[in-house]
Structure 1
Amino acid sequence: MQKILVPINFSNDNEQIIQKSMQMAKAFSSSIYLVHVEQPIKDSSGRDNGDPIVEMNNHYPDETAKLNALAHRIRDEDIETHAIFIEGVPSLSILDLAQKISAELIVMGTHGHAMITSLLLGGLSQAIIKESECPVLLVPI
């Protein structure tokens, strides 16, 4: 397993996901591809939304700094890490990126508070599991 895709949303729950991803990366000598997807907001600024992989520093400076800091922290553990920021629909963007980089595993978090399976997984987790061409490891958060 060479490539692990790790979608993050900058919540406090990310730490468990990051720790599990790092464990997997160290065990298999894998690279981590951190991805944050920002849902586009239609506005009248005239901003060109044509390219889903945006120039991070221009439009999302706080998110860019967080993503880069997290990637740097993982690199400090001698794990090759790539930080990717995408503007788009989260589920579609994550699945598209997984295919583009030939990800062999997606590691993401899920809340497990409900008793019905469809409620156990958030909408994003469900969409990724249903459509992913590679295995998905869900980390309870």
Structure 2
Amino acid sequence: MKKILIALDYNPVAEQVAKAGYKLAKTLNAEVCLLHTLAEISYYGIQYPSFLGYEGYNSMNADLNLISDLRKIAEDFLQKAAEHLNDSTITTHLAEGETSSGILNYAEEWEADLIVMGTHSHSVLEKLLMGTVASKVLERTVIPVLMIPIIKD
């Protein structure tokens, strides 16, 4: 495996996903790209504590109706996440659109050998009505996927 794509969402558990994917990549001496998909605007209004060395969404004064501001903020999130891992060889990519499609499309374009992503707890109703990003990626990918289980205490 030469290229590992680590998909990060804007949630504090992304730090666990980033660290686990990065550790594996270093063990395999693989190239790393951190990916974030700019999808549902409503996700970016959630006030989380600082994680991966990033506090931008909590202090943002951007007008959420302006997609260009969101792009800049998301790019800053990715850059801070890469800096947090303290490796100048890490690249980042911001995709846009439906999350699972963004992950799959970029994984193919970048020629990733492995996709690393986390799993989240969702309500039964949410899983029934919408599915999960993880399940959508697994259903449609031809690239191996490593799921990092995230268990909330």
Shift of 1:114: 8.0
- Once the two structures are superposed, the pairs formed by residues 8-87 of structure 1 within 5 Å of their partners are 8-39=8-39, 58-60=68-70, 61-74=72-85, 76=86, 78=87, 80-87=89-96
Structure 1: gaps of 5 or more residues: 42-56
Per the alignment, in what secondary structure is the counterpart of residue 134 of structure 2?
helix
Amino acid at match of 1:16: Q
**1:53-110 deviation line (CA, Å, top 9, x unaligned):** xxxx943232222111111222x2x462111111211111111111111111111001
Superposition deviation, residue 111 in structure 1? 2.7
Cα distance in 1 between the residues matched to 2:140 and 2:68:
32
TM-score (norm 2): 0.69
In structure 2, the residue matched to 1:128 is 137
Checking the alignment, whether the CA contact within 8 Å between 1:4 and 1:105 is kept in structure 2 is yes
* In 2, Cα distance between equivalents of 1:114 and 1:101: 33
**TM-score, normalised to structure 1's length?**
0.74
For residues 23-60 of structure 1, the C-alpha deviation after alignment (integer angstroms, 9 at most, x for no partner) is 1111111111111111266xxxxxxxxxxxxxxx9432
- What value does the CA root-mean-square deviation take over the aligned residues? 2.5
Change (3 A) 1:91 1:26: same
Preserved CA contact (<8 Å) 1:40 1:87: no
Residue 2 of structure 2 is aligned to residue 5 of structure 1: no
Tell me the residue number matched to 2:117: 108
* CA distance 1:15–1:97, shift in 2 (3 Å): same
- Give the number of aligned pairs: 120
Mapped partners of 2:35, 2:15: distance in 1: 14
> Percent same amino acid at aligned positions?
30
